[in-house]
Amino acid sequence: MLSERLKPAEVFSTDKTLYEHLASLETLDEIQQWIKNIFVSIIEYRTIRKSDKNKYVRMVQEYIHEHYNENISSENIAEKIGVSYSYLRRLYNEELNMSITDYLNTYRIEKAKNMLKNSNLNLEKIALSVGYNNIQSFKRYFKKYEGITPSEYRKIYS
């Protein structure tokens, strides 16, 4: 509980402190049952917290999938889903080992790769259609994530 910064009051729904409750138990069987209940409560609480975390990660991804072609930032996303930016950034890094910005750029680049393969649109139109405000940013991120330029990619895969 300490490593996850859990407070006993968050996990256990009782007016008594854990020590007061333990002191009120009289038999070894009562103590054993109480300890079992503590572990069950901790597991249930962690399961709920994990599902909340997964919910926020899914909400971020859904928002990106719907708005990747707009001028969005991690701060905007946090505001839209109703959590603090610092919490969301930390959560996303913990859960996926990548930043929200990396996920957004990866998603945009995947969309751009599809367009490079399946259309004759020029690079500037592709850049704008996947959410980059200028072609230089698009080329820089494409090279960062794919290791080649968009033009090289198009030559190879179309």
pLDDT bin (cut points 50, 70, 90) of residue 9 is low
Q: Give the pLDDT of residue 14.
A: 53
* 12 band by pLDDT with thresholds 50, 70 and 90: low
Judged by average pLDDT, the poorest of 82-86, 120-124, 149-153 is 82-86
Q: How far apart are alpha carbons 122 and 143 in whole angstroms?
A: 17
- Cα–Cα distance, 141 to 156 (Å, whole number): 18
Residue 117 has pLDDT above 90, yes or no: yes
